[in-house]
Amino acid sequence: MSEPLSSRPVVRLRPKAEARAIRHGFPWVFADELVTDRRTKGMAPGAIATLEDGERRPLATVTVNSNSKIIARVLDRNPEAEITRDWLECRLARALELRARLFDQPFYRLVHAEADGLPGVIIDRFGDVAVIQPNAAWAEAMIDDLAAALVAVTGVGTVIKNGSGRARGLEGLPEETVLMQGAVDGPIPVPMNGATYMADVLGGQKTGLFFDQRPNHAFAARLAKGARVLDVFSHVGGFALAALAGGAETALSVDASAAALDLAIQGAEAMGAGARFSTRQGDAFATLEALGAEGAQFDLVICDPPAFAPAKPALQAGLRAYERVARLAAPLVAPGGYLVLCSCSHAADLTQFRNASARGIGRGGRRSQLLHTGYAGPDHPTLPQLAESGYLKSLFFRLD
C-alpha cells in the first residue's frame, strides 16, 4: 500500500537534471539524475515517494529503487496520487477497455508496462488465466494488491506470478514462479489467427506465449498459401502454425527447446494440421548451416530470434548476429520466395536492424525487395516518450 501523503518521503532531481522530460511524459529517472543521500538510499526497494524538481517543486508520484539504474519510475503525474488497490483497479480497467475493443476473445497482453501506466508490469491473459510479471520492485511489493485488483477488474479465476527474466535481475529481485490463485491443469489452448497455440503458463518461456507477433503472423500467413515454410527460433510454433492456418503446404519448426517443439506439435494436431507439420530440434545457427549444406529450399523462411541486443553494450555483437541470421537464411529461400527477419532487441533501432538484415541478405548472395515492416500488435502499445516500449521489428523481404 502507498504511504499516507503526510508521511510520504520526498526525492529530488539534481539541479542540472532535466525536469521538463518528466513533465512531458518521460517515465524514468536514472540514478545520476537524482539526489541520492543516505535517506534515499535507505528507502525500501519499491517505496512510493513524491518527486520534486531541483527547485523543490512537486513533479510526480514515483516509486524508488536505489538498487536499480532506473532509480525512480513515474507512477502518476499527480504528485498527490495515492497508490492503492483502487488506483490499480483504475489502471487495469483502462487497459481492459482497450483490449475488449480490439479482440473478440480474452487472449492478449492486458498490461504493457509503462505504456499502460503500470511501470515494469507485464500481464498476459489466457482466457480465465492471467500471468503477471512484476519486473519492478514496487510491483513485487504490491503483488497481492495487484493480483486482487486484477481479479476484481477482469474476473479471471487463476492468477500466476511469473518472477523470471533479465528485467527482475536488474531490479535486484529474485526469480520465482508462484500460482497465486486458482489451478492450471496443463498447457492452455490459445486461438490466434486461425491457429491453435499451446501455452505453458507455469513452465514456459516468459508468460508462456508471445502475443506481440500476432499481426506479423497474420501477414506471413497471407504469403504462405501453398508454400513450403521454415520457421526458425519458432518457440511453440509461432509463424509456422499461422502459416499452416493460412494454407501452407508444409511447415518445419526449428528451436533449441524440445519442450517448446512438443507444444508446437500439440498445437498443430489440435488444429488438424499435424500431417503437414514437422520439427527439428537444435541450435538455430547450426541448423541453418546444415539445411544450407543439404540444399534445402523453402518458399517462406522466418527467423524470429531472441533479443541479441537487449542493451547498448551488446548492440554491435547483436547486429552481427542479426546479419549472420540473414546471411544463412537467404540461400534457403527459393527464387521469388519470402524471407521474414525479426528483432525484439531494445537497443537495436529499426534502421540498424534493417541495415544488418540487408547486409546479411547480400552476403548470402541474394537481392531483395522490402515489402512490409511490421511491429507489435495494439495490445502492446508504445509510449511515445519511451523508445524502448516499441521494441519489435519484423521485416518482410521478397528475394530474387
Domain spans of the chain, in order of start: 5-76, 85-181, 203-399
Distance (Å, whole) CA 239 – CA 253: 9
The pLDDT score that the predictor gives to residue 204 is: 83
Matching CATH topology for 5-76 and 203-399?
no
- Marked catalytic residue, from 90, 303, 342, 344: 344
Q: Is 344 a catalytic residue?
A: yes
The pLDDT score that the predictor gives to residue 392 is: 97
The pLDDT score that the predictor gives to residue 387 is: 84
Residue 6 has pLDDT above 70, yes or no: no
State the amino acid at position 287 in one-letter form: T
The pLDDT score that the predictor gives to residue 165 is: 85
The pLDDT score that the predictor gives to residue 98 is: 98
**pLDDT (tens digit per residue) in 358-396:** 999 999 999 999 999 999 999 999 999 998 888 999 999
Residue 47 has pLDDT above 90, yes or no: yes
Residue 58 binned pLDDT confidence (cut-offs 50, 70, 90):
very high
Q: Tell the CATH topology of 5-76.
A: 2.30.130
Distance (Å, whole) CA 243 – CA 229: 7
Residue 193 has pLDDT above 90, yes or no: yes
What average pLDDT does this structure show over 164-188? 93
Class of domain 85-181: alpha beta
**pLDDT (tens digit per residue) in 157-175:** 999 999 988 889 889 999 9
Nearest to 268 by CA among 191, 194, 214, 195: 195
> Helix 214-223 vs helix 238-245: angle between axes, to the nearest 10 degrees?
50
Collapsing DSSP states into helix, strand and coil, what is residue 81?
coil
Residue written as cell 529474485?
174
Which tops the pLDDT comparison, 86 or 1?
86
Mean pLDDT (the chain, rounded): 95
Other beta carbons less than 10 A from residue 324's beta carbon: 17
Q: What angle do CA 388, 202, 94 make, to 5 degrees?
A: 50
The pLDDT score that the predictor gives to residue 88 is: 98
The CATH number for 203-399, chosen from 3.40.50.150, 2.130.10.10, 3.90.870.40, 3.30.830.10, is 3.40.50.150
What average pLDDT does this structure show over 252-263? 97
Nearest to 128 by CA among 144, 150, 99, 103: 150
Asked whether the beta carbons of 322 and 308 are under 8 A apart, the reply is: yes
